[in-house]
């Protein structure tokens, strides 16, 4: 591992909740392996990953870009979770999901999964899929905001794709790990044709 890669790894795991995600994945992985029929849980793991990918788009577009709440506490959360990230896109401390937000969110998802399936093993698999997607999301998002050129053509494309959202027009390109749901829901645009927005760095501050 060269110096660039060592620095990259150090910074990725020293910010946000990435180390916590890895620990939770290790715990859930052990539980899945210990299940009566681990292979039977694979479809639920893939379903959990799919749920994350859908949620990635919907949460970014409709939750994180929602108009500011009249409640001051909620408005402060909105700023911490996303508005301030648009204002200062290169601040790493604003880049990752906070641990204090991640843990309650996982508890809600876990509770709903358990109530719907009645199975702790299936719940573990669904959460493993969710967290796998989240860790990949944090990785891709991190690459988009640091002075680092991804090593694959796909990585380089998604970096440009996300930066269009930040510096061209915040009303397009909500996908961070993939553009699929932008095509599905009509929020994809050719970046050469999209109108330059004056509010990419100041969400809802007009």
Count of all residues that appear for the chain in the document: 206
Answer whether residue 181 shows pLDDT above 50: yes
Answer whether residue 3 shows pLDDT above 60: no
pLDDT in tens, 130-179: 999 999 999 999 999 998 899 999 999 999 999 999 999 999 999 999 99
Record the pTM: 0.93
What whole-number distance in Å separates Cα of residue 169 and Cα of residue 161? 11
Answer whether residue 2 shows pLDDT above 90: no
CB 187 within 8 A of CB 171: yes
What whole-number distance in Å separates Cα of residue 66 and Cα of residue 197? 17
Give the C-alpha distances (Å, rounded to integers) separating 186 from 179, 180, 198, 204: 11, 10, 21, 22
pLDDT, residue 13, reads 86
């Amino acid at each position: 591992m060269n110096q660039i890669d060592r620095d990259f790894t150090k910074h990725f795991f020293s910010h946000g909740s990435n180390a916590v995600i890895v620990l939770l994945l290790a715990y859930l992985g052990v539980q899945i392996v210990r299940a009566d029929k681990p292979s039977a849980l694979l479809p639920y793991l893939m379903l959990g990953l799919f749920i994350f990918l859908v949620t990635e788009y919907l949460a970014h577009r409709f939750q994180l870009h929602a108009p500011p709440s009249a409640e001051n506490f909620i408005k402060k959360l909105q700023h911490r979770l996303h508005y301030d990230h648009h204002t200062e896109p290169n601040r790493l401390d604003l880049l990752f999901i906070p641990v204090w937000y991640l843990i309650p969110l996982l508890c809600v998802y876990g509770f709903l999964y358990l109530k719907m399936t009645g199975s702790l093993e299936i719940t573990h698999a669904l959460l493993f899929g969710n967290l796998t997607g989240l860790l990949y999301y944090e990785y891709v998002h991190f690459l988009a905001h640091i002075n680092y050129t991804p090593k694959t053509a796909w990585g380089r494309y998604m970096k440009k794709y996300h930066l269009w959202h930040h510096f061209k027009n915040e009303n397009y390109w909500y996908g961070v790990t993939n553009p699929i749901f932008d095509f599905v829901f009509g929020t994809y645009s050719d970046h050469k044709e999209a109108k330059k927005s004056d509010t990419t760095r100041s969400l809802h501050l007009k």
